[in-house]
Structures are given as C-alpha cells and as structure tokens.
Amino acid sequence: MGLVVTRIALLATAAAATAAIVAAATGAPFSLALTPQLSALYFIPVNVVCLALLARAGGVRRLLGDRPFLRGSDVGYGLIWLFVLFVPFAAAINAVVLLLHGPSGYGAAFETIFVPPPGAELALGPGVSLALAAVVAALFPVTNAPVEELYYRGHAQGRLEERGAHPAVVVLVPALLFGLQHVFLAPSAAAMLVYAVAFAAWGATAGVIYRRQRRLMPLIIAHFVTNLMTAAVPLVLLLTVG
C-alpha cells in the first residue's frame, strides 16, 4: 500500500507544482482548477517514476503472472470489461450529479460542473496545444493504464489479501484510493466529488473482476482503450479545426 500512497503524493505534488507555474506565468491566483488541462501531461512523468519504483521492488513481473505477455483472449476480455466498467462509472456520475443538483437542475449541471470556472481555462496557442495534445495521445495511455492497474488492482489488492483482509476491504480500499487520485483531473470542487465517486465505482468493479479472473492484462487493455480515447479526442479536434 505504501507505493499507492507514494503515487498519490507524487500526483498531488505535480498538480500543485503545475498550478504554481501556471499562476506565475499568467498572474492568476494559485488554484488546482488551473491544472486539469495539463493533468494528463504531468501524469506521464509520475507514471514513469511509479513504474520504476514498482520494477525496482520486483513487482511488475510478479503481478503480471506466469504469462505476462499479451494474449488474444486478453484483448477480447479487455473489450468486454471496458463496457462492463463503463456501466457503474456512468451510473455513479449521474447519481452524484442528481444528488448535488436535484431533478430540476440535473440537466443544466452537466453544462457547468465539468467546465473550469471563469478565468481558470488556459489560453494556449494552436501550436503549443497541438504539441501537448500529441505528446499526451502518444504517451499517456501507454504509461497510465499499466501503472494504475499494477498499483491499484495488482499491488494494493494483493497486499491486503496477504494480510488476510476481508474481501470487501480488499476491493474497496484500493477503489477509494483510485477515486481519490482522480480528483486532480477535476475542473471544479463539485467535479472532484463526482470524479472521486465515479472512479471509485470503476475501481471497485475492476477489483471484483481481478479477484475472479486473477489476470491484470485484460484490465490493462480496458484501461488503455479508455485512456486512448480520452487522450486522442483533443488531438483529433485540434487537427480537425486546424
């Protein structure tokens, strides 16, 4: 579990450092709301450091099992799990927004809750935006998906199982930490709560899948496809507009 805490601390530090740099460059007040546009970018070096820490501890090969390489069945299961994981994730988002804003404000909330507050959105030039989007599309999915599955499902769940924790604890504690990690992606305080609950729901579902299947690679595939889609959208939009 120490590695997971270290990862979250590294991400918090990276988010704070990014917010400080942006505030200094733009003259805006220091705020974590300044960082979501750049979060996928600073996740990349943190992912590399986290992978190195896990490899140094000898955990990568052990967690991937006796057959660590990608198999055809991993891709098939990964695509199935992608749709399975999306159901509780989407349900959690809608449930939290409904609880926060009620039925009357539910529809309008989606137009504001996931949008940075006025003055927090960075105005980057087209060239810089395109370069950053290309870096994120190329590096974020391949670093983030394996690291997060290795850390939260493989390492954290494995350590709790070794200590004889109750199955619910084995699944829920890493899931809650997984949700906590994702608050750094949120553009507003309300979105932080939505992200925390939604990603915890994703993490809990992935945890149950891992406990039953005992193989990380399908979950890595599902996670990779999700990250690839979210990372590629800004690049495609910039290329289309350009």
**Cα Rg, the chain, nearest whole Å:** 18
The model's pLDDT over 63-120, given as tens digits with 9 standing for 90+, comes to 887 676 778 899 999 999 999 999 999 999 999 999 999 999 998 898 888 877 666 6
* Residues of the chain falling short of pLDDT 70: 34, 66, 68, 117-123, 235-239, 241-242
In residues, how long is the chain?
A: 242
Is residue 141 a contact partner of residue 40, using CB atoms and an 8 Å limit?
Answer: no
Give pLDDT, residue 231: 87
Is residue 201 a contact partner of residue 92, using CB atoms and an 8 Å limit?
Answer: yes
d(CA 153, CA 64): 11
Give pLDDT, residue 241: 61
d(CA 136, CA 134): 5
The long-range contacts involving 35-39, CB below 8 angstroms and separated by at least 24 positions, are 35/184, 36/116, 36/184, 36/185, 36/186, 36/187, 37/116, 37/121, 37/122, 37/124, 38/122, 38/132, 39/15, 39/184, 39/185
Which ranges of 57-115 would DSSP assign to H, the alpha helix? 59-64, 72-109
Question: For residue 25, is it left (φ>0), alpha (ψ between -120 and 50) or beta?
Answer: alpha
Give pLDDT, residue 35: 77
Give pLDDT, residue 4: 95
Give pLDDT, residue 165: 95
Is residue 121 a contact partner of residue 37, using CB atoms and an 8 Å limit?
Answer: yes
